[in-house]
Structure 1
Amino acid sequence: MGAGTEPDGSSRSDEEWERFLRESVAGAPGAPKEPSARAREVTARLRSEPSRGPEGWRAHTPPRPKRRTGWYVVGLLAALVLVAVALAPGRTVDLFAGTDSPSSAPETARPAQAPPRGADLRPTVEEPFRGSPAASWASGAAGITVPEARAVGWMSAAEVERALTRSRDFLVASGLDRGVLRGERPEKATALINPHQKDVQDLLRTAFRTPSEKNDPLLLFSRFQPTRTRLVGDVVKTRGRLSYREGERGALLVTADVTFVYPVTRADTGGDDEIIRTIVRRELVLSWDDPAKVRTEPGTFSIVSYKYAMTNGGCGAPTGYLTPPFGRDHRTDEDGAEIDPYDRSTPIGRSKTAGPGDECARATRS
């Protein structure tokens, strides 16, 4: 039996009834007033199903409620920050401090004050400058600011630029060269010194053979005894600058003021032992003389003066090496003055005429 009958007695197919009933639900005229049980079943099913046709242009669909995911994201980020702080507090502080801090910008003039104190964190093999102002300093030669060259005295601007570059080369060869730091002779550095400057040549001839207060390699060069001390990592942090002016007889006087920070440990350990930062600040005045007025050789300078300040580099009789005080050797001189080795706001006080024991000043931080 069909789903419905026409007035003439013929039967409708199910497909025709389903189409007819869809139109009836939409309000089309001519729908049967008394549909059969099959028709009522189809009608109920159509009303319960969503419309399969396109939505009308005036139709309104209520918006779905937004999922509250914002607070979940904030909570996740906060948890990650806490984990980062717990695992690497030094790096996290540097990350949020940014790279525009005064100690990260190149030094172009003497600073007005010492860098601020940070968290008191111990250095590690992975982070040997952790807890130190040097953590934000540049590495190697990049930390030595060279000013723009201009003509001075007997030199053109191009010659001044070349002299400034070679002055920085001397600082690199004397304080950053890996071989020199391991105790080798500073051949590249000494080749830049005027061979006719008698007092300095006398120092160089005797300092490495028989070091003394007067003739000590450390007056000009940074050296560690390889059987005792080992550098941690491949990076030495530096901060400083070159400046220049005209000197006597039209000479170019170049002043260098640079601090070197060397992280070191015992040579006979795998790097898990105590890490010490030896800090050396050097101030040099170099004279690039006119060969027509002063006896010199092309491409070399004469050393007018040299000063240095050192902390965690050892006390006692000169050995020709920096001797960081590890473990029980780390003695404190109660009578020694306290200095902040990172304070570059005042000139350094150690000169070639300084007396014994001046290198034993106590560092207020390292």
Structure 2
Amino acid sequence: MGDPVEPPEGTPDGGSGNEDEYRSVVFDESFVRAARIQEFSARERLGGNHPRAVRRRGLFGTLSRQALALLLLVVLAFAAAVYFGVAAPQPQSGRPSGSQLTVSLVALAPSSDVTPVADPNAPFAALPASYRDGIVGLGTPGGSATVHFTRADVLRALDTVQRYLSISSLAPNTLVHGETADARRLVTPGQQSQYDQSTATPSDDQHHAATGWLVRFDPAKVALATDTVKAVGAMTIDEADAGVLEIDTDHTFVYALRPADAPGGPVTLHTVRRALRFEFDRADLAAGRLRLVDSVVQAGPTPCNSRLAAYLQPMLGGTASAAVTDPGDHSRAAWAVCGVLKP
């Protein structure tokens, strides 16, 4: 009997009749399944609906149209989620560091002509005894712990406020020499851009008045008759919320002024009331910085038609009573307010 692996007719000429020589060109089943193209079956070809003899295989070749549509929708939804997640503004943790300062400036016009002090060598002689010299007049409290802040936190905030008030209300360099850098060092970084714009290009827009940050007089017009400044007022401590300490200050400052071009000229008292609100988050406390969020300034004697954003505009001795406010003057902001200074 012949070899069972040989064909009945015998092996072809030149061949061994053994399968081993064809194994190198015979593909196993896994290779066939992995092929990128596949021949249609006889039944499929007889159907006549296939212009091509083979179908493409792979990820998209084997998926139905419905599955492809679903996959496309999933991809688009994911892409949209990623885009809007990146483009949407991210919420800030805690309070924003750049809360804007809001400023209100009020001119106090005299009810009669402005007269100089009787004795230029003792310009404050007529003031009540409650007015004290410089920092003493600020009345800085001892401070105590609040619900969410320790006594050390409160004392640190009070010290920062006192330094700011001293620089911005009492220092001659600030008052009549145009110094702005010293006060800026105490302002939280998020407000420094507003501060810089206010001092470089002051504007009476309720946010960018230099005089909302500082007491300052035009050195071309006004000089200090004495470096001493009288002050009276108080500070109160509260919490805006669990993470923000709030200090309100309300002080009246009195300055002895004379004309810049007349060293021996008459001396006039000028009164400025500053009601300020400061806020501190824990980062501000650690850095010794403050956030000034509200500033109300009353200054007189000052003409009602004065523009106070860049400098306060004191009326010096010998000046006639101030002009009244003209509601028809649209060159001035509608919110510019004028009061009458108590004699």
Aligned partner of 1:362: which letter? V
Q: Which AA in structure 1 matches 2:204?
A: E
- Number of the residue aligned with 1:285: 277
Aligned residues: 220
Q: Classify the secondary structure of the residue corresponding to 1:207.
A: helix
What's 1:242 paired with? 235
Kept after mapping to 2: 8 A contact 1:195/1:296: no
Deviation at 1:148, TM superposition (A): 2.2
Q: Which residue of 1 aligns with 2:312?
A: 322
The 1:332/1:247 distance shift into structure 2, 3 A limit, reads same
How high is the TM-score relative to the length of structure 2?
0.58
Given that 2:156 and 2:285 are in contact with CA atoms closer than 8 Å, whether structure 1 keeps it comes out as: no
1:146 and 1:241 in contact (8 A); partners too: yes
TM-score, normalised on structure 1? 0.54
Q: Which has the higher contact order (CA 8 A, sep 6+)?
A: 2
1:237-288: per-residue Cα shift (whole Å, max 9, x none)? 00011110122133211111111101101111132x2322111111111111
- The 3-state SS of whatever aligns with 1:242 is strand
Q: Does 1:355 align with 2:335?
A: yes
From 248, 252, 255, the equivalent of 1:255 is 248
The answer (yes or no) to whether the contact 1:153–1:252 under 8 Å persists in 2 is: no
Change (3 A) 1:251 1:123: farther
* Paired amino acid for 1:148: G
3-state SS of 2:165 partner: helix
Distance 1:193 1:275, change over 3 A: same
The verdict on how the C-alpha distance between 1:132 and 1:121 changes in structure 2, with shifts beyond 3 A counting, is farther
Matched, 1:130 2:120: no
Please tell me whether the aligned partners of residues 167 and 182 of structure 2 are also in contact (alpha carbons under 8 angstroms): yes
Which SS does the other structure have where 1:196 is aligned?
helix
* CA distance 1:332–1:140, change in 2 (3 Å): same
Relative to structure 1, the CA distance from residue 327 to residue 243 in structure 2 (aligned partners, 3 Å threshold; closer, same or farther) is: closer
Where does residue 197 of structure 2 map in the other structure?
Answer: 206
Matched AA of 1:129 = F
- CA distance in structure 2 between the partners assigned to 1:144 and 1:171 by the alignment: 8
Q: In the TM superposition, what are the counterparts of 1:1-366 in structure 2 within 5 Å?
A: 122-133=117-128, 137-197=131-191, 201-214=192-205, 215-271=208-264, 273-291=265-283, 298-314=287-303, 315-318=305-308, 320-326=310-316, 330-334=320-324, 355-356=335-336, 358=337, 360-365=338-343
CA distance in 1, matches of 2:136, 2:260: 28
Conservation of the 8 A alpha-carbon contact between 1:243 and 1:254:
yes
Kindly tell me: are residues 212 and 232 of structure 1, through their superposed partners in 2, closer, same or farther at Cα, counting changes over 3 Å? same
Compute the displacement of 1:331 (Å). 3.8
| Cα offset, 1:151, TM superposition | 1.8
Gaps of 5+ in 1: 1-119, 337-352
Deviations 1:107-153 (A, max 9, x none): xxxxxxxxxxxxx99342111123333x6521000001122222224
**Whole-Å separation in 2 of the counterparts to 1:162 and 1:297:** 9
Cα 1:122/1:185, change in 2 over 3 Å: closer
Gapped regions of structure 2 (runs ≥ 5): 1-114, 327-332
Whether contact under 8 Å (2:306, 2:313) holds in the other structure is no
| DSSP-derived class of the 2:276 partner | strand
For the residue of structure 1 that corresponds to 2:311, the secondary structure is coil
**CA distance in 2: counterparts of 1:212 and 1:169, whole angstroms:** 26
**Closer, same or farther: CA 327–298 of 1 in aligned 2, 3 Å:** closer
In the aligned structure 2, how far is the partner of 1:296 from the partner of 1:238? 26
Question: Which structure is larger by alpha-carbon Rg, 1 or 2?
Answer: 2
Identity of aligned residues (%): 26
Q: Give the superposition deviation at 1:234.
A: 2.4
Return the alpha-carbon distance in structure 2 between the equivalents of residues 186 and 125 of structure 1: 29
Q: CA deviation at 1:296?
A: 8.5
Residues 252/264 of structure 1: CA separation in 2 closer, same or farther (3 Å cut) = same
- Helix, strand or coil: the match of 1:174? helix
Q: Which is further off, 174-183 or 188-197?
A: 188-197
* Cα distance change on mapping 1:261 and 1:151 into 2, 3 Å: same
Deviation digits for residues 46-96 of structure 1 (CA, Å, limit 9, x no counterpart): xxxxxxxxxxxxxxxxxxxxxxxxxxxxxxxxxxxxxxxxxxxxxxxxxxx
Q: What is the distance in 1 between the residues matched to 2:249 and 2:220?
A: 31
Partner residue in 1 for 2:99: none
Q: What is the deviation of 1:202?
A: 4.1
Given the superposition, is the C-alpha separation of residues 265 and 300 from structure 1 closer, same or farther in structure 2, using an over 3 Å criterion?
same
What is the alpha-carbon root mean square deviation over aligned residues? 2.7
TM-superposed CA distance for 1:182, in Å, is: 1.4
